[in-house]
Amino acid sequence: MAPSAFETHDVYNQPPQLPVRNVFETDPILYGALEAALDETGERLLSEHGGFWGTAEARELARLANAHPPQLRTHDGQGRRIDLVEYHPAYHALMRRSAEAGLGISIWQADREDDSGRAHAMRSARLYMTAQTECSHLVPWTTTCAAAGIALVAPEFAEPWMSRIAGRRYDHRPQPAASKAGLTLSLALTEKQGSVPGVDNLTQASRFEGRRYRLIGHKWAMSGPMADALIVLADAAGGPSVFLVPRFRRDESLNRVRIQRLKETIGLRGNGIAEVEFADAEAHLIGAEGDGAKLVADAHLTLRHDAAVMATGVMRGALANAVHHVRHRASGGTRLLDKPLMARVLADMAIDVAAATALVIRLANARDRAASDVIEDAIARLMIPVAKFWIGRVAPMIAAEALECQGINGYTESSEAARAYRDAQAFGIWGGASNQLALEALSMIESVPETLDAVLGDVTAVLGREASASAEAIRGAANACMDDPGSARIFVEQLAITTAAAALHRFAPRAITDAFIDTRLAGGWRASYGMLDARFDARGIVDYTYPAS
């Protein structure tokens, strides 16, 4: 069609706007990974959740929340200290949605009829679906969930804290906890010098009445700065200890938690990460003095699993957008998706995303069974940091490749690809950087060798002969790492990939499982995607994992 007198050109060979899609019903990998845990009620609840996060409304809320990052107001107009962080209304709308979905508490409500016996799996599925559209607002809910596990140690925090978190309501008003309908918690653990519990933690706690203490010190990176209370690691007379630090004191005056500034982060811009100082802040001891390292370790397990789940969601969302683009854009008269090289690039990425999805849900199932099954408990404790290591490394590569598939459209702030690329960088460091995770995994295996036996036994039971060579290679790599910790990354990556292969093999079509096993377990090292052999049905893999709308 020729342009009218008032138009310079027609727009064609550009993809349409993303269609409305149900991110649960269009994800056969997620459905397959969950199938054993699903019944009619569970399927309905996840379908309802997935129905919203694939809408234009959800995408617009995500855009607004990130285009208008939080702003810090340290003082009011009369010079009074208020330490207030202000958020865009879109951010509050997202927070409200995720509160109602139970993302801040549901794993501690395992007796609820809708999540009974599968609380971790159901929450992980919701977290994963939500992260495909927006994940910066999820950070306060992951810290709330991890911190709630610590607070449960102390029955005295049932009111007002746990009861108001359990209500699944969001109330962002800066008021004392007792007057609010819903609460959030945050974790304040990291200090400028790094903070290894019991070694170099500078924040000091001094008792002044019963289980009440005063804190003097600082924390270098605290997510969710408007949380109603912080879980803080500080040194007390009995050693590293954990404290609940409310935003308001008993007399309802503002506690002495001073927000110094908000970091200008690369990604997760809608959330806000604060640097804070404790100037004689009122705090309440959780557990006993000296329990800090153990309590924090349990919280880290939840944080790290959430980080792996969210990174997988970001990958899924980024790749789904890339597939949509190449389905509707042509070059030389041929759609990009119909070109063999593009199909192989996308399929190569798709099998990594599928394996990561299978792995994080497998570990959620392990956490659901951990209380009654020592093997599943061992699998969860070893493999969560290992999974976070691998997925945290893969996510930025997937996001970058997905952006490149969209050309200049992806390389602009108006695209979701740009946000996914930035957000994907966070998961390599959140909850522990890759080297730390690799060394922790080695330390766990050295102190409790049975954990590796549990993982490899499970893998071999699923994969059979396909896993025997990999299992022996992994045992050999683990032994070598004890003398040469510098090779830890090689070992941990192979362990992650092998376990992911087993998780995928449980339910996925052979075409996908074979492609992953043959190229990841048996294949050589490569630095980019698009290396699938012609014997694999690349187009079929893409169409199965990302069905056309």
Tens of pLDDT, residue by residue over 69-121, are 999 999 999 999 999 999 999 999 999 999 999 999 999 986 666 667 899 99
Instruction: Give me the pLDDT at residue 530, please.
Output: 84
> pTM for the full model?
0.95
Instruction: Give me the pLDDT at residue 394, please.
Output: 97
pLDDT(506) > 80:
yes
Q: How many residues does the chain have?
A: 549
Tens of pLDDT, residue by residue over 241-280, are 999 999 999 999 999 999 999 999 999 999 999 999 999 9
Tens of pLDDT, residue by residue over 21-36, are 999 999 999 999 998 8
User: What mean pLDDT do residues 308-312 have?
Assistant: 99
Instruction: Give me the pLDDT at residue 113, please.
Output: 60
Backbone angles phi, psi at 112, to 5 degrees: -65, 140
200 — pLDDT class (breaks 50, 70, 90): confident
Give yes or no for a contact between 110 and 149, defined as CB atoms under 8 angstroms apart: no
Q: Which residues, including other chains, have CB under 8 Å from residue 212's CB and lie 6 or more apart?
A: 282, 283, 284, 285
Tens of pLDDT, residue by residue over 129-144, are 999 999 999 999 999 9
The closest alpha carbon to 221, from 430, 376, 78, belongs to: 430
Backbone angles phi, psi at 354, to 5 degrees: -60, -45
184-290, which class in CATH?
mainly beta
179 — pLDDT class (breaks 50, 70, 90): very high
Q: What angle do CA 205, 207, 213 make, to 5 degrees?
A: 65
Name the fold adopted by 294-432+509-545.
Butyryl-CoA Dehydrogenase, subunit A; domain 3 (1.20.140)
Angle between helices 374-405 and 488-505 (to 10 degrees): 100
Q: What is the DSSP letter of 486?
A: G
116-143 burial by CB neighbour count: b if 16+ within 10 A, else e? eebbbbbbbbbbbbbbbbbbbbbbbbbb
User: What mean pLDDT do residues 513-536 have?
Assistant: 84
Domain boundaries, the chain: 28-166, 184-290, 294-432+509-545
In the chain, % of residues over pLDDT 70: 96
Bridge partners, residue 261, by sequence:
275
The answer, yes or no, to whether the previous bond of 160 is cis (omega within 30 of 0) is: yes
d(CA 509, CA 504): 9
